[in-house]
Amino acid sequence: MLMVDANVDQATGLRQMVKPHPVRVVAVTGGKGGVGKTNVSVNLAVAMADLGRRVMLLDADLGLANIDVVLGLHPERDLSHVVRGECTLEDILITGPSGIMVAPAASGVQQMAELSKAEHAGLIRAFSDVASDIDVMIVDTAAGISDIVVSFSRAVQEVVVVVCDEPASITDAYALIKLLNREYGIDRFHVLANMVQSAQEGRALYNKICRVTDRYLDAMISFMGSVPYDENLRKAVRTQKSVVQAFPRSRSAQTFKNLAKKADNWPVPEGVSGHLQFFVERLIQYSSQSGGI
């Protein structure tokens, strides 16, 4: 018994000696389905891993998961097994391209699409206990403005809203931003125009959203960039690979690499907001060491 206590004390001391680092957590969402947010999530994750970052990719479309399909992975267990208490979160992690760690969700499991807010919170807290040491977590949310989307969007530091040149996409993106801003106090968003024919078209999509948000919301909307329409991206999807991996010299792959560099330069978090956030303990530790809260 004394030996066990000594080992526990030693482990605690070692953890205290290790300087914690903040984890950059980014949600990729869009309001409307079909705007390509899963492809954005996958390629952004792979591109950030290629920069030397330790990346986890979380499939937060809990009932209609597809990241494993997009990447040609075959998980034996997923988040539904974690929710049922059959295994730990660490047990379901699988390695994807460029060494990214993928946390797969379930597909066609209605129970996962109907989790309570308390269960969402429990799932978010579980990630703070993952032993895997990571630098970045990309969260691919579900479409729409459901409780699942809200819970995960509130738990991150950066929200990327993916839009394409369709009226419904722009309307739904604004509806999501409006909900998160007015009801939950999220005041910073990054807009990413996807599948555009030109850089001018991407900027025009961003301007359309800004004209409305500037008038009605108290939020800062920044232009993350635009991803060009690229047939190589469709080919990559068919081969179940990221375009960054399958066609690294293509226009879309080069764009994702540039977007990864931009996201990597976003300011690191120095504290927690009033929301339930991923890795909240690490954020508090980092903030206290850097003179924050």
For residue 255, tell me if it sits in a domain: yes
For residue 23, tell me if it sits in a domain: no
For residue 19, tell me if it sits in a domain: no
Do 59 and 104 meet the contact criterion of CB atoms below 8 Å apart? yes
Q: How far apart are CA 45 and CA 39, in angstroms?
A: 10
pLDDT digits (tens, 9 = 90+) for 159-193: 999 999 999 999 999 999 999 999 999 999 999 99
Average per-residue pLDDT for the chain: 86
Which pair of tokens denotes residue 245? 């991996």
Number of domains in the chain: 1
Q: What is the mean pLDDT of residues 141-156?
A: 89
Q: How long a stretch of residues is the chain?
A: 293
Percent of residues, the chain, with pLDDT higher than 90? 62
Write down the pLDDT at residue 282: 62
Q: How confident is the model at residue 125 (pLDDT cuts 50, 70, 90)?
A: confident
- Of 266, 260, 257, 191, which Cα lies nearest the Cα of 226? 191
Q: How confident is the model at residue 288 (pLDDT cuts 50, 70, 90)?
A: low
Structural domain harbouring 37: 31-285
- Of 33, 52, 101, 94, which Cα lies nearest the Cα of 257? 52
For residue 290, tell me if it sits in a domain: no
Write down the pLDDT at residue 27: 96
Task: Read off the CATH number of the domain in which 49 is found.
Answer: 3.40.50.300
Do 113 and 62 meet the contact criterion of CB atoms below 8 Å apart? yes
pLDDT digits (tens, 9 = 90+) for 224-268: 999 999 999 999 999 999 999 999 999 999 999 999 999 999 987
- In this predicted structure, the answer to whether residue 76 has a pLDDT above a threshold of 60 is yes
Q: How far apart are CA 109 and CA 253, in angstroms?
A: 33
For residue 26, tell me if it sits in a domain: no
Q: Which residues contact 79 (CB under 8 A, 6 or more apart)?
A: 59, 62, 89, 92, 103, 104, 105, 106, 112, 123
Write down the pLDDT at residue 107: 78
For residue 15, tell me if it sits in a domain: no
For residue 141, tell me if it sits in a domain: yes
Q: What is the mean pLDDT of residues 66-90?
A: 91
Q: How far apart are CA 102 and CA 110, in angstroms?
A: 21
For residue 174, tell me if it sits in a domain: yes
The radius of gyration of the chain from alpha carbons, rounded to an integer in Å, stands at 19
Q: How far is CA 59 from CA 27, 68, 80, 219, 273, in A?
A: 10, 9, 12, 27, 23
